[in-house]
Structure 1
Amino acid sequence: MTVMAILPRLCLAAGLSLCGTAASAATIEVTIERLEFKPAVVKARPGDTILWRNKDVMDHTATSKGSFDVVIPAGKSGSTVIKGDGVVDYSCRYHPNMKGRIEVSP
């Protein structure tokens, strides 16, 4: 038997956590309602998707200079995949008082 054939059996016998599993990317949902991003601050990891659901009757954007500019029509959703780490502040181009923050850590 080859090592590749034995490895799954060893993992099962030793416990899955010892064999390491790739971390899967998450989808983090932010609701837009009453001219607010809810929650206003989210925590994410590189590769995660931020999904904005617009429950307002007007269009919005999620815009971060140099990172992303997502147009989210009324009653629809839009998304972006997070790259890099650090703090990403964003706002709505149409309604600059709408602000959000993504705290990205590896």
Structure 2
Amino acid sequence: MAGEYQVDPEAIRRFGRTSEERSTRVREIRSQLGEHRLPSGAFGKLPEADEIERDYQERHEAAVVNLISVADTMERISGHSEDLARSYEAAERGLAENMQVMARGLGA
């Protein structure tokens, strides 16, 4: 059959577990980054220093928010991977049952 492929539900589950691990690791990184603070005056005394410090702080806060989003996405991928694996298994069981019914109907 053209375009035939096979799906390994356990491979999907392994991928889901690695997504969960990535979520955990990203949350750890986010926690460490969220705790990081630069000392006052870290950008020096030049006139631009205050502006640079504000820009740095904005980017730092955005990075923390983005890491939360990344971790949440990895967690959702993990859950959806398990759902997908179960769906493939259910489809395989359903197909096998239908084939058995057809075979019995044909007198096999």
The structure with the greater share of residues assigned to strand is 1
Q: Tell me if TM exceeds 0.5.
A: no
Q: Using CA pairs under 8 Å that are at least 6 residues apart, name the structure with larger relative contact order, 1 or 2.
A: 2
TM bin (shorter chain): under 0.3
Name the TM-score, length of structure 2 as normaliser: 0.20
Larger radius of gyration: 2
The structure with the greater share of residues assigned to helix is 2
